[in-house]
Structure 1
Amino acid sequence: MAGARLGAWAWDEVVPHLRAAGHGAHPLTLSGLAEKQGLPAGQQTHVQDIVDEVEGKDLREVVLVGHSYAGIPVGQAAQRIGDRLARVVFVDSDVPADGESFLSGWPEGAEEVRASIAGNGGFWPVVPAAYYVGQGLTDEQIARIVDGSTPHPGTTLTEPAVLARPLGDLPATYVKCLLDGPEPGDAVAEVLSTGEDWRLVEMDTGHWPMFSRPRELAQILLGAAGE
């Protein structure tokens, strides 16, 4: 699952590499975004979107992938699919904490985001091309992201996560994109230090590696799947 404002289309350059290696790949657009604009969505809607995709298609040995915002619902869904889960991959993402929202992890700027959502009909608006500069993207890649982005349902950012057990109990790989900051955030660093089966992988690119380094990202996902 791609991060805020994006849909399944964001994985178009990653999916062929996974399928060429013999794996199924099921990019999913979360409710209220891209081709699913207009569907009501809160954070738990997004969690259920993921669970329904896995269970509805009877998927097994699943590697759930969450980029940026999507790490929040993906981490919760991973706990709910039981023995269908093989591993979670968090791609430069936020991670859920029980009772905390996406915005809870913002030491600065959370009130500005809330005000932006309130002033834009309950949606976090899309951002201009300048927002993506310095993240290892070409002008063409930036234009593609901007053109494909849709406003993000605000309640998915403000509703609290619900975890049944510690996140560190999951088998997980965390992908840190170094142009977006050299170190994981505090919440991620803590679970990396305590989770028995958490691994850190670094990519020398920006926050949107599915566009800037799709082949390299695909290889990391294949590694997470045991390739």
Structure 2
Amino acid sequence: MDILLIAGLWLDASAWDDVLPTLTQLGHRPVPVQLPGQGDGAAGATLDDQLAAVLAAVDGADGQPLVVGHSAAATLAWLAADARPERVAGVVLVGGFPAADGTAYADFFEPQDGLMPFPGWSAFDGPDSADLDEAARRGLAARMTPVPVGVSRGVVRFTDERRFGVPVVLVCPEFSAGDARGWIGAGDVPELARAEHLEYVDLDSGHWPMVSRPAELARVLAAAADGR
């Protein structure tokens, strides 16, 4: 199965490099998606541009692909399910949740000159980064590029309720499946509260398992693809 891989904020498609070999060995075709504005110098990119790149990958896939969204890109993966409910075999959300309709995509940190830079590791103290040593932090931070405000402050719009029928696997790295169930049950994640097929998978890692636990993450993604 084609597995489309969408990295979260500040990262380009190379974020998935260490995940690709295991996915290939397990019989799947991993397809990292390059998002406009994240590593390609497109400072004027918008959320619509990023969604267009994801949908182009969906439309170009062999059969029905599995769409994987990491962190904030969980929203992009879910937007793909909304735009192509008949084409997407399933969605995997890694350490992130879809934003609610009508809210900003990822307006988390103050922008500078039209770009939202990586705020530094102090913003991710605790479980998010506990599994990254200093070398891993330096390497990951060096690859991060500021995200255009046209992306981070883009407004999320859903249009097709058939998205709720698309199977979802929520991978829980720096939080537990129990935490996620609680948040969803409390109404904090309205999109997933209406999902008809929602599975939870715990993964012992921080927020960037493609860096700290790439083989383990690959096996989780392969299992989700096999389940489709």
Q: TM-score range by the shorter chain?
A: 0.7 to 0.9
State the alpha-carbon separation in 2 of the partners of residues 14 and 196 from structure 1.
29
What TM-score do you get using the length of structure 1 for normalisation? Answer: 0.84
Stretch of structure 1 that moved more, 214-223 or 166-175: 166-175
State the alpha-carbon separation in 1 of the partners of residues 102 and 192 from structure 2.
20
Q: Note the residue ranges of structure 2 that are not aligned, 5 or more in a row.
A: 1-5
* 3-state SS of 2:30 partner: coil
With over 3 angstroms needed to count, the CA separation of the structure-2 counterparts of 1:19 and 1:181, relative to structure 1, is: closer
Q: Which residue of 1 aligns with 2:14?
A: 9
Residue type of the partner of 1:5? Answer: W
State the alpha-carbon separation in 2 of the partners of residues 121 and 188 from structure 1.
32
- Superposition CA RMSD, Å: 2.3
User: 2:50 aligned with 1:70, yes or no?
Assistant: no
Q: Could you tell me which of 96, 103, 119 is aligned with 1:127? A: 119
Q: Which residue of 2 aligns with 1:92?
A: 95
State the alpha-carbon separation in 2 of the partners of residues 74 and 58 from structure 1.
15
State the alpha-carbon separation in 1 of the partners of residues 35 and 190 from structure 2.
28
What TM-score do you get using the length of structure 2 for normalisation? Answer: 0.84
Q: Which residue of 2 aligns with 1:152?
A: 147
Q: For residues 80-115 of structure 1, what are the alpha-carbon distances to aligned partners after superposition, in whole Å with 9 as ceiling and x for unaligned?
A: 2343211100111130322222257xxxxx5xx3xx
State the alpha-carbon separation in 2 of the partners of residues 81 and 224 from structure 1.
19
C-alpha displacement of 1:143: 1.3
Q: For residues 178-219 of structure 1, what are the alpha-carbon distances to aligned partners after superposition, in whole Å with 9 as ceiling and x for unaligned?
A: 359972345565555542211111112111111111111111
Stretch of structure 1 that moved more, 65-74 or 75-84: 75-84
User: 2:165 aligned with 1:169, yes or no?
Assistant: yes
With over 3 angstroms needed to count, the CA separation of the structure-2 counterparts of 1:191 and 1:75, relative to structure 1, is: closer
Q: Which residue of 1 aligns with 2:44?
A: 40
Q: Which has the higher helix share?
A: 1
Q: Note the residue ranges of structure 1 that are not aligned, 5 or more in a row.
A: 105-109
With over 3 angstroms needed to count, the CA separation of the structure-2 counterparts of 1:42 and 1:218, relative to structure 1, is: same
State the alpha-carbon separation in 1 of the partners of residues 14 and 188 from structure 2.
27
State the alpha-carbon separation in 1 of the partners of residues 17 and 174 from structure 2.
23
Stretch of structure 1 that moved more, 168-177 or 131-140: 131-140
Q: Percent identity?
A: 28
Residue type of the partner of 2:165? Answer: D
